[in-house]
Structure 1
Amino acid sequence: MFRGLLIDKQDGQQTASVQQLSESSLPEGEVTVRVAWSTLNYKDALAITGRSPVVRRFPMVPGIDFAGTVEASADPAFAIGDPVVLNGWGVGEVHWGGLAERARVPGKWLIPLQSPFTLRQAMGIGTAGYTAALCVLALERHGVTPDQGPVVVTGAAGGVGSVAVAMLSKLGYEVAAVTGRPQEADFLSALGARQIIDRAELSKPGKPLDKERWAGAVDVAGGQLLANVCAAMRYRGVVTACGLAAGMSWPASVAPFILRGVTLAGIDSVMAPVDERLQAWRRLAQDLDHDLLERLIREIDLDDAIGVAADLLEGHVRGRVVVRVDAP
């Protein structure tokens, strides 16, 4: 038996509770992992609270991330005792995820823990930080360099945004941080943001083309905010879009794309191939200040996850929430 957070649904009513689970109830997979640390992401919070139909199979252990050590393996790529990390692949949605002391998954979903990170630090980064790294790599791939102008990051005090701010500033970019929480200005400045922008400035319907402001963007919001970011991009600017915190709709014009040559690059972290995942994690090891990483981390126990999930959706959580699952 092992402890885990289980979401179930009966007669249309969803419940979430921490309880004892049987190892025989674990899903199929070649590798069984003793989970030491997991995280609480926006998607996890939606799943736990039931505010969005993230979970597509019940009962479900949520948690789109986990880090731990291999306990049993039928995959020759992994041996007992190997430290491993998982991000995405539908865990916590259609396959039991990381908010439990044990997980069983296909070996192809795992990557080795990258040096010099500890298991805890890997979850301090988690899918949010790994997604931020994918965004940075996409900006570079499309030719955005620090000398071309500022890069704007929306949702800057959240998980993706905070890591993106820290990485971009270390790489020499001038970062403009967008947040709806002005009380986080000092936190964002400490991460390297040179300008703090009130989210309200970009949340109302704007012009199809606005004054050119930014050479690049990392957007976690979607909706009207993304439309306004696109409208204010400089000529040949690049927007990386990886979230929908402000909605799935996109009330935008084609004007930025056909008149300024703006590129909108979609970033998918869930099904990204292993080589891209490893590239992102290696860049995190290289370009993320490990001292700053500790400023991003809030540590909670598994029993706290349900309450913190609601706080996260209300915008009361900054940085990264790390969940102690079965850590020594």
Structure 2
Amino acid sequence: MFKAIVIDKEGDSQVVGYHEIGDAQLPEGDVLVDVAYSTLNYKDGLAITGSAPIVRQYPLTPGVDFSGVVAESAHPDFKAGDRVVLNGWGVGEKHSGGLAERARVKGDWLVHLPEGLSLREAMVIGTAGYTAMLCVLALEKHGITPDAGEVVVTGAAGGVGSVALALLSAKGYEIAAVTGRDGEADYLKTLGATSIVPREELEGKVRPLAKERWAGGIDVVGSTILANVLAATKYNGCVAACGLAAGMDLPSSVAPFILRGVTLAGIDSVMCPKPERMAAWARLATDLDLSKLQNMAVEIAFDEVLEAAPKLLAGQVRGRVVIPINPSL
């Protein structure tokens, strides 16, 4: 038996709590993993609090990512003792995830943890950091180099934003960090921000085009802020969009796209093909200044997850929330 957070239904109401379960209660899969670390992501917060219909089937253990050690494997690419990481693939939504001491998943969903990264560091990076790397790769693919000009990162004090700042800074980019949190300027500058943009500057009425400010951007917010970022993106710029914290709408126009040749690159980290995942994790192992991870990470006990979930949704948590589950692995 082992400990897990379980979300279930009682009538029309969602209930969530800590339970002792066994391997027989885990979903189907060809690899059984002893979970070393997991995280608390925005999507996990929504699932645990029931604030959005994230959970697709009940009962289910949340946790969209985890790192750990293979206990048993019937998959040809993995054997007992391998260090692995998982992000997405519907885990924590329709397949029980990482907020448990064990997880059973499909081996096709796993990535071997690159040399040079510890199991804890993998979860300080987590889905948020892996998504940030996919965004950086999209900007590079579009030719947005450091000499192209300043790059903007919205939601900069959050998980994706924090890692994006560190990654871009390591490559020599000038970065405008957008945040609505007073007092975070020093933190953002330690991660590599060269300027701070108050969020309210991008919350006003959207014009079809604004003064050109940024060569590119990484947006985790969506809605009006993304629209204003697009309007202020330079000719032939690119904005990688990976989040919708402010909403799914986009009150923009075609003007940035047909008058300035701006590209809006959609980033999906959940169903991203495995070769791209492996490339992203390989780059994270080489490009990320691991010393900056300590400034990003807030570690909480497994028993504190349910209490922390609403705080995360309220924007009261900085950076990455790491949860040691079996840290001795």
TM-score calculated relative to the size of structure 1: 0.99
1:20 matched residue in structure 2: 20
1:186 aligns with 2:154: no
Q: How many corresponding residue pairs?
A: 328
Structure 2 counterpart of 1:277, which letter? R
1:217 aligns with 2:217: yes
Give the Å deviation of 1:127: 0.4
Structure 1 position 202, deviation (Å): 0.4
User: Which position in structure 1 is the counterpart of 2:133?
Assistant: 133
TM-aligned CA deviation for residue 326 of structure 1: 1.9
Q: Is the 8 A contact 1:208 1:253 kept in 2?
A: yes
Amino acid of the residue matched to residue 35 of structure 1?
Answer: V
Gaps of 5+ in 1: none
Give the SS at the match of 1:89.
coil
SS, match of residue 130 in structure 1: helix
Q: Distance in 2 between matches of 1:148 and 1:73?
A: 47
Deviations, residues 237-295 of structure 1 (Å, cap 9, x unaligned): 10000000111111111100000000000000001111101111111111110100111
Q: Which residue of 1 aligns with 2:3?
A: 3
Pairwise CA distance, 1:182:
2.2
* Cα shift at 1:301: 1.3
Runs of 4+ more than 6 Å apart: none
Q: What SS does the aligned partner of 1:135 have?
A: helix
Q: Which residue of 2 aligns with 1:105?
A: 105
1: distance between equivalents of 2:202 and 2:311? 24
2:294 is the alignment partner of 1:284: no
Distance 1:114 1:260 in 2: 39
- Kindly report the root-mean-square deviation, in angstroms, between the aligned alpha carbons of the 2 structures: 0.7
Shift of residue 22 of structure 1? 2.0
Letter in 2 for 1:23: D
Aligned-partner Cα distance in 1 for 2:182–2:189: 12
Structure 2 residue runs without a partner (length 5+): none
* Conserved? CA contact 2:212–2:233, under 8 Å: yes
Within-5 A mapping of 1:1-328: 1-328=1-328
Question: Is this contact kept in 2: 1:5–1:302, CA < 8 A?
Answer: no
Q: Which moved more, 1:15-24 or 1:126-135?
A: 15-24
Q: Percent identity?
A: 61
Q: Distance in 2 between matches of 1:228 and 1:144?
A: 19
Q: Which amino acid aligns with 2:300?
A: I
Could you tell me which amino acid in structure 2 is paired with residue 116 of structure 1? G
1:53, 1:168 → 2: CA distance? 33
Q: Distance in 2 between matches of 1:317 and 1:239?
A: 25
SS of match in other structure, 1:163: helix
Structure 1 residue 136 displacement after superposition: 0.3
* Aligned partners of 2:206 and 2:251 also within 8 Å: no
If the length of structure 2 is used for normalisation, what is the TM-score?
0.99
Residue 206 of structure 1 and its aligned partner are, at CA, apart by 2.1
